[in-house]
Amino acid sequence: MKIIVFGDIHMAIAEARRIPDITDADLVILNGDITNYGGTREVRTILDEVLQLNKNVLAQFGNLDSPEINTYLEDLGLNLHGQAHLVNREVCIVGVGGSNPTPFSTPSEFSESELKKIAHTAFQQGLDYISLARPLHKREIPQIFISHPPPFNTKLDRIRSGRHVGSKAIRSSIEQYQPDLCICGHIHEAKGQDMIDATPVFNHGMLKHGGWVTINLINSQLEVTLQ
């Protein structure tokens, strides 16, 4: 199974056409900031472009997306925020969109306590799915955490001044649930890789700057490439 993850699109979707094998991927995930303070009309434009490339899409809103985008994605059955998806009984995808509070009062921000509750609900749903599927599946089912905000105090949440601005709730959720992989975004200049305990964490950066993550699932093992 091949999964491609990108976010921080900000309406600049043209770069997606340059992603190798995007048309053949088993799943494409859009990880927030799909628009620039946009709503349903703007996100529909981006989704139409992506769905022309690949029909297997999950998405969640970022802090720069209007809350109505979350509702729109839910109505389409594509939403990842605050929930889990068991894909082909091979991998469990858990999502948290929006962001922790910023100095800019962007449209879709949550308090740390709210983010913690959202993550808890999503992870618990994922664990339930895995528990039900495991007797029918001969292999382990890895869990991938897709979070728009990066975890606090890592290489992936530092702004240019060097200050860490990520989410403490996202970090504590990783520490508690220990997913097999976490993909985040939000802080464009902090594209890269880090570890929290045994969980590899990647910030994909901005799509228009060539940022995306490719995940290959082979016999329950995750091979991750940051572009």
Structural domains in the chain, sorted by start? 2-226 (3.60.21.10)
Under 8 Å between Cβ of 114 and 131? no
Q: Could you tell me which of 85, 103, 102 has the C-alpha nearest to residue 94? A: 85
Query: What is the predicted pLDDT for the residue at 134?
Result: 74
Query: What is the predicted pLDDT for the residue at 170?
Result: 99
User: Model-level pTM?
Assistant: 0.97
Query: What is the predicted pLDDT for the residue at 137?
Result: 64
Write out the two tokens for 222.
């995750």
Q: Helix, strand, or coil here: 56?
A: coil
Q: CB burial class (10 A; 0-12, 13-18, 19+) of residue 136?
A: exposed
Query: What is the predicted pLDDT for the residue at 136?
Result: 67
Report CA Rg, the chain.
Answer: 16
Distance CA 179, CA 173 (A): 9
The residue whose two tokens read 């703007």 is: 42
Distance CA 121, CA 73 (A): 18
**Amino acid found at 24:** D
Taking only the tens of pLDDT, the chain with its 227 residues reads: 999 999 999 999 999 999 999 999 999 999 999 999 999 999 999 999 999 999 999 999 999 999 999 999 999 999 999 999 999 999 999 999 999 999 999 999 999 999 999 999 999 999 999 998 877 666 789 999 999 999 999 999 999 999 999 999 999 999 999 999 999 999 999 999 999 999 999 999 999 999 999 999 999 999 999 99
| Residues whose CB falls within 8 Å of the CB of residue 218, separated by 6 or more in sequence, listed in order | none
Q: Could you tell me which of 2, 70, 57, 5 has the C-alpha nearest to residue 31? A: 5
Q: Helix, strand, or coil here: 218?
A: strand
**Amino acid found at 152:** F
